[in-house]
Structure 1
Amino acid sequence: MAADRGPVGVIDIGSNSVRLVVYEGLVRAPVALFNEKAQCGLGHAIEETGALAEADMAQALRTLGRFAVLTKAMQVGRLRAVATAAVRDARNGPAFVDAAAARHGIDVEVLSGADEGRLSALGVLAGNASAKGVVADLGGGSLELVEVAGGQTGRSTTLPIGPLRIGSGAKLGHDPRAVVDQAMAGVSWLAGRAGQTLHLVGGALRAIGRVHMARTDYPLRVLDAYKVPAESLLTLCELLAGLGRKSLRRIEGVPAERLPALPFAALTLMHLLRRLQPRHAVFCAHGLREGLIFEMLPQAARAEDPLLAACRREAAIGARFAVHAEELMAWLDPLFPEEESAHRRLRQAACLLSDIAWRVHPDYRAEHAFVEMLRAPLAGAEHADRAWLSLALHARYTGGAGGETVAAIVELLGRPDAVQARRVGLALRLAHTISGGAAGLLGEATLGLRDGLPRLALPGEAGLLRADVVMRRFESLVRAFDGKAQYG
């Protein structure tokens, strides 16, 4: 298979784990087709011996052998394998790289600390082109800090204070707090950044995010783009940094595999929050691996909106008939004459996705579309965007307001935006009812506003599309535009 076609694979050889992710292709915001990791702990002995332990190397090489077989069977057109701090810092790192090539034909690229940080920051920008502030990628062996603004990466620093390394140092009698404090004190460019946003990357940091979600009973359990006040996160880190393994086990949301590293990760994040004094922290699912994919894209693809690019591919794959999102957008335009650009973007995404549940039993389409939008791996979507789309597509498939779960998302989004999302969804429901989901039938039917309420005209041949169900759904739309209307 040609290298520029078919699935694309990334093998990430880290200090904690070795992971393979196979993406659908070299496209903007690709979906992961396969994602597997093995906990190999390559970095656990670096601090003490300066080398990769033989047993850990053997396990990592066995894992690479499995990945080599899998990627061949999956017809991966392009495979990129990279190694980070453990292999980079170990004196026998080159021997490991040679063994991977000799045994399994995998050419491992050992990233410098600067490249590791840059690629992680590119991954953050791939998911959020407007990201501004500091990216912190905490791996098992190191912490990468990179400034981002204007869609570009800036200054960066690599610090040897990953949880594995700090934990190993603690066993040798090194004070973890002093080690972290001393490392961060030497990064002069971190000064003067109070009030900026801290973008958090890495499994140990995401584990802290899961704990924060559980303790605050946050209704949308998706870590990507989870935004929290820095003060609240600092309080949690102060708690976690002082707990032992037995106490951590009793805290909801702590993954078992992260127990040993969590106090040290919390300690590092605590020091970083105190040093930077950001206003908010945002947890990011996109990092090094997504940065590698983003770097390989042509400039035109990089410039695409990741949310809309993903929605276009989903529409092309899953629509019943020809995709007619542009027709739907144009038909709905008169209803929203003063629409803000952010809402127009979401309406465009909703038009692209407005037929995604047609294969589902009619009784469950609204629920399916609602849940799909909340949980799907959508790059470029903040939590408010997910909430908006979930409510719009819920309304597209049902005239009802939904139950407690829907109500929780309404509260998360805020009622004014929830009402707007519902209006879009009901208008899409009407459009699909008139046209049967087929393209080219909305041209003569017109939808507009008069005195703030929708007006529908079906002149000429469009009159043949009039039906009781059409009028019922139009009346539902009119009620949603009533000035006194609340959500539902």
Structure 2
Amino acid sequence: MAKCTAVIDIGSNSMRMAVFQKTSRFSFHILHEVKSSVRLSEHAYKNDGYLQSATMNRTAQAIGEFLSIARSFGARKLLCVATSALRDAPNAQEFISRIQREHNLSIKVIDGEKEAYLGAIACANLLPKMDALTVDVGGGSSEFAVLRNGKVETLYSLNIGTVRIKELFFDRNDLAGAVAYIDNALSALPDFGIDTFIGIGGTFRALTRALMKKENYPLKKLHAYTTDDVRFQTFAEQILQAGPKKLKSLYIKTDRFDTIKPGTLILQRILKYTCAQKLVCSGVGVREGVFLNDLLRNSAASFPANYNPSVRYLLDTYATHSDHGIQCSHLVKRLFDLLQAPLNLKADYRHDLVIAAKLLPIGIGIRYYAYQRHSHNIAMSGLDYALSHTQIVLISHLLLFKKGSRSSSLIPRAGYGTLLPDNATVDALSAILWLSHILLAARINADTLSVHYIDGKLEIRGKHLYLAKEQLRNIVLPKNLIVVFQE
């Protein structure tokens, strides 16, 4: 696979491109993203599905500039897919041939089930593992996929999309007709029996972004934001009842004013039909799915077990100077297993603590002085995939350190503290993490140390522990934890 790959997704409403760069076999990050509201299917649904000359012209012009951007990053592979707008249009081949002739770009028109699959594998790999129904509301159609045990199961595609519903119903002020049309389409779906709904696509992201601003949510990340059906439905109803001035006060961008209500109505009817109670926003979709389908083509469309591409990217980029973080992660597993019961910690925190240990040294790649703060900032910004918001905040916060201070005292006021566990848990996890760091202060291998918990004491045996003994005073240990060094 090319080290740098550009993926173009031509939708009915928007066209987007993402430029991905690999940093190791399965690790990657996004170098650039660009979006153009080309509205390729504008006026098509009023004209028997035919693409109009003006929309084809502006889409062709935007494609030319997308390709120029891709070349500027040295992209050696370019993948381009088109969805509902081209698969529905009787004159689609005219546009496809034009783009091939003018730009030497091959457009692959994918069917609805393939579109659903691509969005679903992006969610399966880049969101925390969950059984869920993925729902991608686009301009011309909506795609559905069932995720169970990290695998994509059934796939569906329905001709209900924001632009389609706008032109057929909203432009005629026919709300009742829109509801009847959407509900009739949804009747083709089975009872999924899944209470978690993953929203993909521009409409859901726009509503999520607005809801986060309205609630003053402390973490500025759309991907993996989670809410419930009551809050979302209440907000959706406000959107449907709002005029332009009110939409702006609800944090809806003006370029979405004409499609946000049709999209909101579609989502509202889907939620009513599925009875989903938990809603998760996906910041990834078809573009990431196209990239992953290529990247993981020999791996059953899945990353290896316990692999996190965000963590690996940060290590590839910022922790090339030593394996200290990896050694700390080995030791922190052993320490957690010994201290979980005495410190009354939930087993789930082991996973997050191991990731924090791996990331301990990433701030050094920026600047050694105050590297803990740099590690914290890099993790908070760079951890995106396969982690919940509470996990991202906890891992990032644990990377902060101040001599002689409890971790809970470092939680910023009016910041992300509401996403953290209780102070006792934060302090205990921080103590274990930084204890692993100082026990390996001489940059020794973790397997040279022997650790035991006996009679309320953590006994450490090994060589090269002089610095560890000296630095132990910098850590505030839980009151019921005593560390003893044995020669």
- TM (normalized to structure 2)? 0.87
C-alpha change, 1:224 and 1:129, in structure 2 (3 Å) is closer
Matching residue of 1:413: 420
Which residue in 2 is equivalent to 1:250? 249
Alignment CA distance shift 1:14-1:195 (3 Å): closer
Alignment RMSD: 2.9
In 1: Cα distance, 2:178 partner to 2:139 partner: 15
Distance 1:303 1:105 in 2: 33
Match of 1:21 in 2: 18
CA gap 1:195/1:301 in 2 versus in 1, 3 angstroms: closer
Report the equivalent of 2:289. Answer: 291
Residue 282 (structure 1) shift: 0.6
Shift of 1:331: 2.4
The answer to whether the 8 Å contact 2:122/2:286 transfers is yes
- Alpha-carbon offset, residue 101 of structure 1: 0.9
Q: Deviations over 1:458-482 (max 9, x none)?
A: x55x1453574x1323xx2424765
Contact 1:121 1:135 in 2 (8 A): yes
The corresponding residue for 2:467 is 465
How far apart are the structure 2 equivalents of 1:223 and 1:249?
19
Does residue 425 of the first structure (1) align with residue 452 of the second (2)?
Answer: no
Long gaps (5+) in structure 1 = 484-488
Could you say what secondary structure the match of 1:20 adopts?
strand
What is the rounded CA distance, in whole Å, between the counterparts of 2:156 and 2:173 in structure 1? 22
What residue number does 1:486 align with? none
Deviations 1:24-58 (A, max 9, x none): 13954621111111221112212112222222211
Aligned-partner Cα distance in 2 for 1:366–1:325? 13
Q: Could you say what secondary structure the match of 2:172 adopts?
A: coil
Distance across 1 between alignment mates of 2:404 and 2:98: 58
The verdict on how the C-alpha distance between 1:61 and 1:428 changes in structure 2, with shifts beyond 3 A counting, is: farther
SS at match of 1:71: helix
The answer to whether the Cα contact below 8 Å between 1:319 and 1:355 also exists between their aligned partners in 2 is yes
Aligned to 1:347: 353
Q: Name the CA shift for 1:480/1:262 in 2 (closer, same or farther; >3 Å).
A: farther
Tell me which moved more, 420-429 or 123-132: 420-429
Counterpart of 1:409, as a letter, is Y
* 1:208 alignment partner in structure 2: 207
> Quick one: which of 350, 371, 379 aligns to 1:365?
371
Give the Cα separation in 2 of the matches to 1:141 and 1:11.
Answer: 17
Q: 2:343 matched to which residue of 1?
A: none
Counterpart amino acid of 1:65? Answer: G
* Native 8 Å contact 2:310 2:382 kept in 1: no
3-state SS in 2 of match to 1:210: helix
Instruction: State the shift of 1:164 in Å.
Output: 1.6
How many residues align structurally?
470
- Would you say the 8 A contact 2:116–2:145 is kept in 1? yes
Q: Distance in 1 between matches of 2:425 and 2:192?
A: 32
Are the aligned partners of 2:182 and 2:269 in contact in 1 as well (CA < 8 Å)?
Answer: no
Structure 1 residues 230 and 176, CA, compared in 2 at 3 Å: closer, same or farther? Answer: same
1:68 maps to what in 2? 67
- Preserved CA contact (<8 Å) 2:438 2:467: no
Contact 1:10/1:20 (<8 A) preserved: yes
Aligned to 2:310: 310
Q: Which of 5, 8, 11 is equivalent to 1:11?
A: 8
Q: Structure 1 CA distance, aligned partners of 2:336 and 2:258?
A: 53
Residue 97 (structure 2) aligns with: 98
Equivalent residues in 2 for 1:323-342, closer than 5 Å: 323-337=323-337, 342=348
Shift of 1:412: 1.6
TM-score (norm 1): 0.87
Would you say 1:31 and 2:29 are equivalent positions?
A: yes
Distance 1:385 1:157, change over 3 A: same
Residue of structure 2 in register with 1:239 after alignment: 238
Distance 1:97 1:272 in 2: 33
Measured after TM superposition, the shift of residue 447 of structure 1 is: 5.0
Residue 211 of structure 1: how far off its partner (Å)? 1.8
**8 A Cα contact 1:391 1:406, kept in partner:** no
Q: 1:187 to 1:250 in 2, by over 3 A?
A: closer
Contact 2:8–2:79 (CA<8 Å) still a contact in 1? yes
Quote the offset at 1:423 in angstroms. Answer: 2.7
What residue is the counterpart of 2:88 in the other structure? Answer: 89
> How far off is 1:153 after superposition?
2.4
Match of 2:401 among 395, 398, 402: 395
User: Could you tell me which amino acid in structure 1 is paired with residue 268 of structure 2?
Assistant: M
